[in-house]
Amino acid sequence: MINGALAVIGTAPGLSPEPGALTPSSPARRRDHRPNAQRSIPRTSASARSPATPAHAAARMPSDPPPTCRSSADLRPADYFMNPHGQGRGVRHRIPLSWVAPTINVILVAPDMGRYDAANVALGGNRNQGDPKGRSMLPECARIDFEAVIEASPNPYMLLDRELRCVWANTAYLRATGRELTSLFGHTIFDAFPPGSHDPDGASEALLRASLNRVLQTGRPDALALIRYAIPAAGDAVFEDRYWSATHTPILDGQGTVRFILQQTNDVTELQRLRMAAGTEAARGMPAGAAVIEAGLFQRAQAVQEANLTLDTERRYLRELFRQAPGFVAVLSGPGHIFELANDAYCRLIGRTDIIGRPVLEVLPEVREQGFIALLDSVREAGRPFVGQDMHLQLRRRPDAPLEDVYLDFVYQPIVGPDGAVSGIFVQGNDVTERWRSEKALRESEERARLQLLEVETLYRTAPIGLGLFDRELRFLRVNEALAAMNGPSVDEHLGRCAWEVVPALRAVAEPLFCRVLETGEPVLGIELRGTTPSQPGVERVWIEDFYPVKRPDGTLMAIGAIVREVTEQKRLEERERLLTAELRHRLKNLFMMVEALARQTARTTSALPEFLDRFLGRVRALAAAQDLLASGPINAAVSLQALIGTALAPFVGADGRVRMEVNDTAVAADVASNLALALHELATNATKYGALSVPGGRVSLSARVEKTEGGHELCIEWREAGGPPVRRPQGAGFGSQLLERVIVAQHRGRVARHWENSGLICCVCLPVQD
């Protein structure tokens, strides 16, 4: 021991440090490269310190204990470093000494050589290359018994597991606390040393427990400069007030998890009493002595401890705020952008938590091609922040997962040191993916609504039917081009005006329908309205109209809509169709009656069936030809007289020119045409059988002209036969005579004159003609 520090170097045979353990020779330890003359041996209070082993460094141990190691609850005191009384050398070590030894500051000091750290000696080297004695010391150092060194240390040491149960204590600890190892082993420190009545508010227990918990939570050493904690003085019934200074050092496994806590405790009761006594002397005005100086040191130590506790509380509070911040936050250090801090939101964003101490490129390799590494480099080089809004980023949150699209608002803020150099980058932002998706969906919805509105507006404007919207006072709110064209005024001239100002003639028929919709709130559909509008004054027009209510979300009526379809032309066509149907029915009836009359008259004048068929079919064909001629034109339209005569006489006119026609063409009414064609057919038939066309030299001439009379105009047709056998007036009236008398004279108010000359028959037919 030198100035209270434990000075040891080397490794006991068979107890070399475990692989992966953080020993004083680990590269993670900061070495003191100052010359030997400038290196002073530090004084120790809670634990001995050396440049090779900083006070904040935690010892590490292998991730797996030796095969024979059991849980602390199953072990016996002999399974640990030594027995309760420091005896039993050579006892099998179930917990390797290399797990604990690195927590003891190891410094070798010899009168004839400089200071050597354990790393230098363990590696067989000598930092002070000018001193060759270092190499000669190595065999001797290798023979040091570390178990004896630790056991012989006057500083009290106790080893606790994660449940704060005692698993080992050295003789100095047992002597300081007046306990046996068997009474401590397997018990928690608070069961072994219960607070009792001397700590009624539990302040001492809370202080000790908080220090141990900080070690478990942070994996870093924690020191208590001064703590009042009573221990049993005689048996377990009497407690003696004692004051302690304690250092709690974590022992980590290969994964960096706290496996054990090494407590190094110093009993400072006497010094505390001296401080208290010095305070009493100062209060009495007595001169201060060494006790006052020591007391002042303890006061300062206690003040430093309280300040450290306050700072630690604030630090933990700030870290908790940092961790729970709703936005993602991270701190990157160095040119490699190493993660120093990252809160929960950041870890949730990237889908992993094992990022501290690792570079961004290793944690998020996918962001390199997306330009974010270059962006970080530019912020570090320029020393200016970068602010991104709605930045698109693709992240792979699991190794086997595809890239996911996220959108971020963030800032890269350079961290500038006192020297003006950028030491890191502060990253803060928010994941706005859901907001971006919502805004995108809103934009798409608005675009769809705009297109739908445009579609409705286009349909409203270009619809072939009339559309109008009226307020409760029946003023035009909207009107399309079709309805404006029906009414007459332009679209703009409709707006704001009452319906009856625009179409006053329709008020009587339309106003009751509007009122019914206003009163009932129900539509009125398919109503036929007739009237006139300014667009076609004096012309009666017909519309089919629908009136429907337009309601607010609460169901109240705010407007009335109207759909107007003009059916004037449709109604006209329907009327024409009705008339045509009636005319067709009338014509068919007449035709059947005529066929019946033809059959009856033919039967009276013939005695044999072949003769009957010949005459009857001829007459039916003539009637059919006339009907074909009528059907070739519009219904009820007049036909050409020339065409009518040519059709009726076509079977009798040959190439020899025996039938000559001289006709001034004129129109013949449809109802006269069929009867006239039938009469001409009878004249030609009789001429063929009995008259001029029955002999080779006979001939027929037919002339037609319109002559003016006192009552108007007449169509006069003359049939003249010549060159045939002599003719005489028949004894009775045949079919042809009856047809002329009954149809031409009686039905059409015409005149018929027949003359039987020696040269042949002369027949004149006159019919009135409409001017």
* pLDDT tens-place string over residues 153-162: 888 999 999 9
Residue 680 pLDDT more than 70? yes
Residue 694 pLDDT more than 60? yes
Highest mean pLDDT among 232-246, 252-266, 553-567: 553-567
Q: Annotate 174-190 with DSSP letters as a single string.
A: HHHHT--HHHHBTSBHH
For residue 112, the one-letter residue type is D
- Contact by Cβ (8 Å): 510, 499: yes
Indicate the burial class of 311 (C-beta count within 10 angstroms; 0-12, 13-18, 19 or more).
Answer: exposed
Q: Which two tokens stand for residue 447?
A: 């675009």
Span(s) in the chain for CATH 3.30.565.10: 577-769
Q: How far apart are the C-alpha atoms of 72 and 459, rounded to whole Å? A: 86
Res 284: pLDDT: 55
Residue 224 or 734, more confident: 224
What are the residue ranges of helices labelled H in 606-729? 609-631, 641-649, 670-689
Other Cβ atoms within 10 Å of 165 Cβ, number:
19
Res 354: pLDDT: 92
Residue 6 pLDDT more than 50? no
Residue 396 pLDDT more than 50? yes
- Contact by Cβ (8 Å): 393, 372: yes
Res 212: pLDDT: 94
- Contact by Cβ (8 Å): 706, 664: yes
Which residue, chain included where needed, has tokens 């000075």? 7
Residue 455 or 307, more confident: 455
- Contact by Cβ (8 Å): 200, 234: no
Which residue, chain included where needed, has tokens 């690792």? 358
Highest mean pLDDT among 22-26, 483-487, 727-731: 483-487
Res 657: pLDDT: 79
Q: Which residues contact 376 (CB under 8 A, 6 or more apart)?
A: 332, 337, 360, 412, 425
8-31: average pLDDT? 35
Q: Which two tokens stand for residue 648?
A: 């009726």
Res 384: pLDDT: 94
The closest alpha carbon to 616, from 636, 637, 602, belongs to: 602
In terms of phi and psi (left: phi > 0; alpha: psi -120 to 50; beta: otherwise), the region of 496 is: left
- Contact by Cβ (8 Å): 121, 10: yes
Q: How far apart are the C-alpha atoms of 126 and 111, rounded to whole Å? A: 16
**Where are the extended beta strands (E) located within 643-738?**
659-663, 667-668, 699-709, 712-722
Query: Radius of gyration of the chain from Cα atoms?
Result: 64
Q: Which two tokens stand for residue 130?
A: 């000018």
Res 279: pLDDT: 59
- Contact by Cβ (8 Å): 53, 106: yes
- Contact by Cβ (8 Å): 273, 234: no
- Lowest mean pLDDT of 101-115, 492-506, 700-714, name the range: 101-115
Q: How many CA atoms lie within 13 A of 690 on its CB side?
A: 11
pLDDT confidence of 687, banded at 50, 70, 90? confident
646-655: average pLDDT? 75
Residue 385 pLDDT more than 90? yes
Residue 10 or 261, more confident: 261
Residue 92 pLDDT more than 60? no
Identify the CATH number of the domain defined by range 325-431: 3.30.450.20
53-57: average pLDDT? 39
Highest mean pLDDT among 108-122, 196-210, 433-447: 433-447
Residue 100 or 763, more confident: 763
Res 653: pLDDT: 74
* Paired strand residues for 60: 252
- Lowest mean pLDDT of 503-517, 574-588, 746-760, name the range: 574-588
Highest mean pLDDT among 104-108, 196-200, 216-220: 216-220
Query: What CATH number matches the domain at 36-267, 3.40.30.10, 3.40.309.10, 3.40.190.10, 3.30.450.20?
Result: 3.30.450.20
Q: Which two tokens stand for residue 123?
A: 């590696």
Strands 59-60 and 222-228: unpaired
Residue 369 pLDDT more than 70? yes
The closest alpha carbon to 217, from 348, 316, 317, 138, belongs to: 316
Res 655: pLDDT: 60
Q: How many CA atoms lie within 13 A of 701 on its CB side?
A: 7
Q: Which two tokens stand for residue 58?
A: 């935690």
Q: Which two tokens stand for residue 345?
A: 């939101």
Res 5: pLDDT: 35
Q: Starting from the edge strand earliest in sequence, which strands make up the sheet with 386-395, in order? A: 338-342, 328-333, 422-431, 404-416, 386-395
Which residue, chain included where needed, has tokens 């309760």? 84
Per 3-state DSSP, what percentage of the chain is helix, strand, and coil (rounded to 5)?
A: 40, 25, 35
Strands 659-663 and 699-709: parallel
Indicate the burial class of 446 (C-beta count within 10 angstroms; 0-12, 13-18, 19 or more).
Answer: exposed
Q: pLDDT tens for residues 267-302? A: 888 777 766 666 555 555 555 555 555 556 666 666
213-218: average pLDDT? 92
Assign domain 577-769 to its CATH architecture. 2-Layer Sandwich (3.30)
- Lowest mean pLDDT of 120-124, 668-672, 712-716, name the range: 120-124
User: First-to-last CA distance in the chain?
Assistant: 154
Is CATH 2.60.300.12 the right assignment for the domain spanning 463-566? Answer: no
The closest alpha carbon to 598, from 628, 620, 624, 627, belongs to: 620
Span(s) in the chain for CATH 3.30.450.20: 36-267, 325-431, 463-566
Q: How many residues are recorded in the chain?
A: 771
Looking at the chain, the whole-number percentage of residues with pLDDT higher than 90 is 36
191-215: average pLDDT? 83
Q: Which two tokens stand for residue 596?
A: 């019946």
pLDDT confidence of 672, banded at 50, 70, 90? confident
- Please state, rounded to an integer, the average pLDDT across all residues of the chain: 76
The closest alpha carbon to 230, from 269, 265, 262, 201, belongs to: 269
The number of angstroms, rounded, from the C-alpha of 410 to the middle of its chain's C-alpha atoms is 22
Provide the b/e sequence for 207-235 (b: ≥16 CB within 10 Å): bbeebbebbbeeeebbbbbbbebbbbeee
218-237: average pLDDT? 78
Res 589: pLDDT: 65
- Contact by Cβ (8 Å): 154, 261: no
- Lowest mean pLDDT of 90-99, 107-116, 408-417, 585-594, name the range: 107-116
561-574: average pLDDT? 92
Res 7: pLDDT: 35
- Lowest mean pLDDT of 59-73, 612-626, 638-652, name the range: 59-73
Looking at the chain, the whole-number percentage of residues with pLDDT higher than 70 is 70
Residue 109 pLDDT more than 50? no
Res 66: pLDDT: 40
pLDDT confidence of 421, banded at 50, 70, 90? very high
The closest alpha carbon to 372, from 402, 343, 400, 330, belongs to: 330
pLDDT confidence of 628, banded at 50, 70, 90? low
